[in-house]
Structure 1
Amino acid sequence: MNTLAPANPRIAADETETWWRQAVVYQVYPRSFADADGDGIGDLPGLISRADHLAELGIDAVWLSPFYPSELADGGYDVADYRDVDPRLGTLEDFDALVDALHARGIRVIVDIVPNHSSDQHVWFQEALAAGRGSAARERYIFREGKGPDGAEPPTDWESVFGGPAWHRVADGQWYFHNFAPEQPDFNWDHPEVREDFLRTLRFWSDRGVDGFRVDVAHMLTKDLSEPLPTRAELEVLPFDGHHPLIDRDDVQEIYAEWRAVFNEYDPPRTAVAEAWVDAARVPRYANPQSLGQAFNFQLLQADFDAGEFRRVVTHNLELAAASGSSSTWVLSNHDVVRHATRYGLPPLGEEHRGRGAEKHGSAWLRRGADEAELDRIGGLRRATAATLFMLGLPGSAYLYQGEELGLHEVGDIPAADRQDPTFFRTQGDEIGRDGCRVPLPWSAEGSSYGFGDGQAHLPQPAWFAEVAADRQAEDEDSTLALYRRALRLRRELQDAEDLTWIDTGRDDVLRVARPGGWEIVTVFGSEPYDLGDAGRIVLATVAPDGRRAAGESTVWLVAD
């Protein structure tokens, strides 16, 4: 049995096996968080230097996006070595120091694991290229002969998630499959060496004190590529019922049962959360205690700032959590989508907007040229903070994305020459990509990179970063940062059981939720004020109420007297 004694009384005092059920988890995109050595890329020592910011914020855990050796074909999600640190970001000793620093502040550590694909620089893939056709080394990946008399056509006409063909030809004429970029060849999860190596990786990081794992594209590992392979048109109409050739196959749960056995070797057991873009009815398969234990709920991220949508999403996902025996997760922004302060500040896009989901709303704005005249920055941030405080009042775990505590908007005007996201290049700019939410953070109003580091940041920062820098907000009691700090402190005091009761408000644009212990959350989605009545003491509000009248587009927390 492997154990890690908690270094901080706050951790020791928790119900250690279930700490994750109600945790506030803060996502760090390491290359854009803080740069200690001045090379323009965020690193682990930089993150350590900002550990006090995280502690003062009041989070329970940090989710660390990939920090492994990588050629950055996909922002670090092309992993060359799963058991090391990218030298540009630090060393294994730096990682250990980071874990110690966060644990000492009562903050747990969750790391990203990327099991669907490796980098094409991974030693196994380089071995496969050198070994040639029919070799054992190629069996760890998905190699196929091409079509046509000379094999010059790909095995299928499938497209990758990032655009362009899903097959890439190597020098000897064979093709390999990549669901994402060509630099990200998919593993063959039928191969026992692949399965065993990932078990070794899980133990490697768990032994170094990691408390849990976020599993990238957890629904895509297993595949059925037996002949005949469907065409792209046939593939697109196949049901996602557990037998699709590429997505959300039932047999992926065999892998996660093995992972769960490893997690349970530790005391307390290591946690995991699945990034699984699957039909909602199938989410409990990933979130149950025999599998990964928790799964992301992305429906709130996809919803408009609308009371009816929010209530439907919350009700449905609490039902799913109950069905799995897990707790729900709530998220409004992450490293893959336009920041919610910007999404909520844009005009409606009509049927296109409603059909594609709100997370595409900001992307459409960016594709049209990011016209600042269309963006209501003040209104977007007002709605974003209201949505965040509503989310933080819900039972379950809440995920925050770095910089949202500063009220950051999407950076929309990045020149094409400075962009890094493969989506932008593989779609010839039709999909603008995710660089706008990955711009390095502004820690100070002064300096060449607003306190991110001593040199220029790896993505250009806008001049308006000076206005929202962390050092300015830390001195302002009315800042977004101050609001987040107060909310997380109160949440820790108030959050208890996982029950929720809806209270009738008499208005379609107002949601009112009662939580155990006399705690209530009221969110006004419309523009008209709402009478709170006489019950409860106002302890927090995103916009100051007028007496007992909550302002439009605001959230108020009440506690029974």
Structure 2
Amino acid sequence: MATRLATARTSRQAFTPEATTDPWWRSAVVYQVYLRSFADGNGDGIGDLAGLRARLPYLSWLGVDALWINPHYPSGGADGGYDISDYRAVDPDYGDVADLEALVADARALGLRVVLDVVPNHTSDQHPWFQAALADPESPEASRYHFAPASEQPPNNWQSLFGGPAWSRTPDGRWYLHLFAPEQPDLNWRDPAVAADFEQTLRFWLDRGVSGFRVDVAYGLFKDAGLRDNPGAYSPTLFGHGPEQAMTWNQPEVHDVWRRWRSICDEYPETMLVGEVCLADLEQVALYSRPDEMHQSFSFRLLKSPWSTEAFADGVRTALDAFGAVGAPVSWVLGNHDKDRQVTRFGGGEVGTARARAAALLMLALPGSAYVYAGDELGLPQAVVPDEAKQDPIFHRSGGARAGRDGCRVPMPWNDTAGVGFSGEALSGERAAEPWLPVPADWDRFAVSRQTRDGGSMLTLYRRALALRDAHPALGSGEATVDTRGDVLTVRCTAADGSVVRCVVNMGAGTTLVRTRGTVLLASTTRVRRSAGSIALPADSAVWLTED
């Protein structure tokens, strides 16, 4: 089934909210910045807003349209910033509100938009509300969380995604709900005070010029009102949560929250919401992007699929159909801060790198928006982090049985000097502190400075692909059809003006012949060979072809 999406190209010049009436987010390429690991501006070993501001020209040069910043708020530090203690402030490790305002202004001057992360499902246990609830069970703040009376057993069988029961005790014996770490108590969205406070948070940041929000755990918020047992125990599934988690996720009331948030964004021109919706059923995911709800919700199928024609073709088809049914663009994802790096997922080494290059061309050809995780454009593999240095609660709560996510959060390599250019000089003039996570000894081989000088590097491939996507109306918008023949996946992208680009991916073990009379726009490998009426496409590679 072909799915039509409105065409929308984003200017690479500086913009104002009135500069365009086109919905930029429909085909934008958004670059995800894990702030703590991107660039350290003051030499303390922690990435910050000053470091990010200094690297904005790199993002402009790369050719992305916007950047999404992982949580920058004051935090208890239990889960990489996703346990927030103040939603309308900046963690001192990263700077202050003035630094964020300066970042937004600098980005705007370069034609870049800034999207923030917002976490409405839970707070930190250090949040003033939770502290007040601990001190007084009868306080108004206590009703803003899920508490249950003291008893020998937890109120139900719900499990934490990080391992173990989803209920912990307070010092006075009560139980409280945390679907993640114990330091992340879940909010009770049936209390109107919760919704009112988050609406203030949205306006606080929108008034400072941000262009929208990535919404964490957007499928959560409401839980079964009776706290009934789930019909199945939590276990990670390939594509997301399904009926076995019916009481904890995807409650119908949650959609009213997004309708209200959408109405707030409508007051601020050119702003958007993109939701993290980890559900097994893509048709359910797409419902979060109906015209009166969030503008987008991520499609994680390609992020979670093995390297196979069948899996990737199904991931593309089902997403195009599900989101097309509600008139929304697909938000494609190949990597993020919660998943092993794609080079490693796809086999590691030369094979994994070749497949990651091919997957990048596929994603960037597809109609909709594309989200690129910082470092994926460098071909970073999953780093090996020593157990004693790991900070992810998944590793610690599982007793080491699960490796955790630290390996995809290692600092960004900028150059091949000591410390790979992650940290600037310390404010004291002394040598910069060690990075917050250890940098692998060979990380310099992936450095931006090296790859910019290499015409065949992963970084060069991304930059060329983004430039072509920006210039060619058939890439990133229009209509797409999907075809498979054996190990070859072909996506045919047709623009409103009738121009066509085919993305052909050879996911097999040997070279395949692709018939074409058109032009090779870009290939993921230099080993593509052309003969009369066809090209020889090597294994684990992709090519963009025009149809002349």
Q: Verify same fold: TM over 0.5.
A: yes
SS in 2 for 1:100: helix
SS in 1 for 2:371: strand
Q: Is the 8 A contact 1:329 1:399 kept in 2?
A: yes
**Quick one: which of 515, 526, 538 aligns to 2:494?**
515
Q: Is the 8 A contact 1:523 1:554 kept in 2?
A: yes
Shift of 1:284: 2.3
Question: 2:389 matched to 1:410?
Answer: no
- Report the counterpart of residue 427 of structure 2 in structure 1: none
Distance in 2 (CA, whole Å) between partners of 1:528 and 1:13 is 51
Distance in 2 (CA, whole Å) between partners of 1:231 and 1:401 is 33
1:456-475 aligned at under 5 Å gives the runs 456-475=434-453
Output the amino acid matched with 2:277.
Answer: A
Q: Is the 8 A contact 1:503 1:514 kept in 2?
A: no
CA distances 1:95-118 after superposition (whole Å, capped 9, x unpaired): 001101111111111111100000
Output the amino acid matched with 2:214.
Answer: R
Output the amino acid matched with 2:438.
Answer: P
1:328-343 aligned at under 5 Å gives the runs 328-343=330-345
- Report the counterpart of residue 539 of structure 1 in structure 2: 521
Shift of 1:242: 12
Distance in 2 (CA, whole Å) between partners of 1:419 and 1:242 is 31
1:260-275 aligned at under 5 Å gives the runs 260-268=262-270, 270-275=271-276
Q: Is the 8 A contact 1:441 1:452 kept in 2?
A: no
Question: 2:111 matched to 1:133?
Answer: no
Q: Is the 8 A contact 1:33 1:452 kept in 2?
A: no
Shift of 1:59: 0.3
- Report the counterpart of residue 354 of structure 1 in structure 2: none
Q: Is the 8 A contact 1:450 1:465 kept in 2?
A: no
Shift of 1:79: 0.5
**Quick one: which of 67, 70, 73 aligns to 1:68?**
73
- Report the counterpart of residue 6 of structure 2 in structure 1: none
- Report the counterpart of residue 256 of structure 2 in structure 1: 254
- Gapped runs of 5+ residues in structure 2? 1-10, 236-240, 425-431
SS in 2 for 1:90: coil
- Report the counterpart of residue 313 of structure 2 in structure 1: 311
Q: Is the 8 A contact 2:258 2:294 kept in 1?
A: yes
**Quick one: which of 548, 552, 560 aligns to 2:539?**
552
Output the amino acid matched with 1:230.
Answer: D
Residues 82 and 13 of structure 1: CA distance in aligned 2, closer, same or farther (over 3 Å): closer
**Quick one: which of 293, 298, 301 aligns to 1:299?**
301
Output the amino acid matched with 2:480.
Answer: L
Residues 175 and 105 of structure 1: CA distance in aligned 2, closer, same or farther (over 3 Å): same
- Report the counterpart of residue 158 of structure 1 in structure 2: 158
CA distances 1:298-351 after superposition (whole Å, capped 9, x unpaired): 111111111122111111110111111110111111000001110111xxxxxx
Distance in 2 (CA, whole Å) between partners of 1:10 and 1:96 is 16
Q: Is the 8 A contact 2:230 2:244 kept in 1?
A: no
Shift of 1:233: 5.0
Output the amino acid matched with 2:479.
Answer: D
Shift of 1:240: 5.2
- Report the counterpart of residue 322 of structure 1 in structure 2: 324
Distance in 2 (CA, whole Å) between partners of 1:53 and 1:409 is 21
- Report the counterpart of residue 278 of structure 2 in structure 1: 277
CA distances 1:504-543 after superposition (whole Å, capped 9, x unpaired): 7x54434252433132211111132232334111121111
1:111-510 aligned at under 5 Å gives the runs 111-130=116-135, 132-148=136-152, 153-226=153-226, 229-230=228-229, 244-268=246-270, 270-278=271-279, 279-345=281-347, 376-412=348-384, 414-453=385-424, 454-496=432-474, 497-502=477-482, 506-510=485-489
Identity rate, percent: 43
- Report the counterpart of residue 428 of structure 2 in structure 1: none
Output the amino acid matched with 1:463.
Answer: A
Residues 240 and 403 of structure 1: CA distance in aligned 2, closer, same or farther (over 3 Å): closer
Output the amino acid matched with 2:395.
Answer: F
Distance in 2 (CA, whole Å) between partners of 1:31 and 1:41 is 5
Higher relative contact order (CA 8 A, sep 6+): 2
Q: Is the 8 A contact 1:442 1:452 kept in 2?
A: no
Residues 171 and 341 of structure 1: CA distance in aligned 2, closer, same or farther (over 3 Å): same
Output the amino acid matched with 2:520.
Answer: I
More helix by share: 1
1:2-41 aligned at under 5 Å gives the runs 8-9=13-14, 15-41=20-46
Q: Is the 8 A contact 2:162 2:393 kept in 1?
A: yes
Q: Is the 8 A contact 1:510 1:526 kept in 2?
A: no
Q: CA RMSD in A?
A: 2.3
- Report the counterpart of residue 363 of structure 1 in structure 2: none
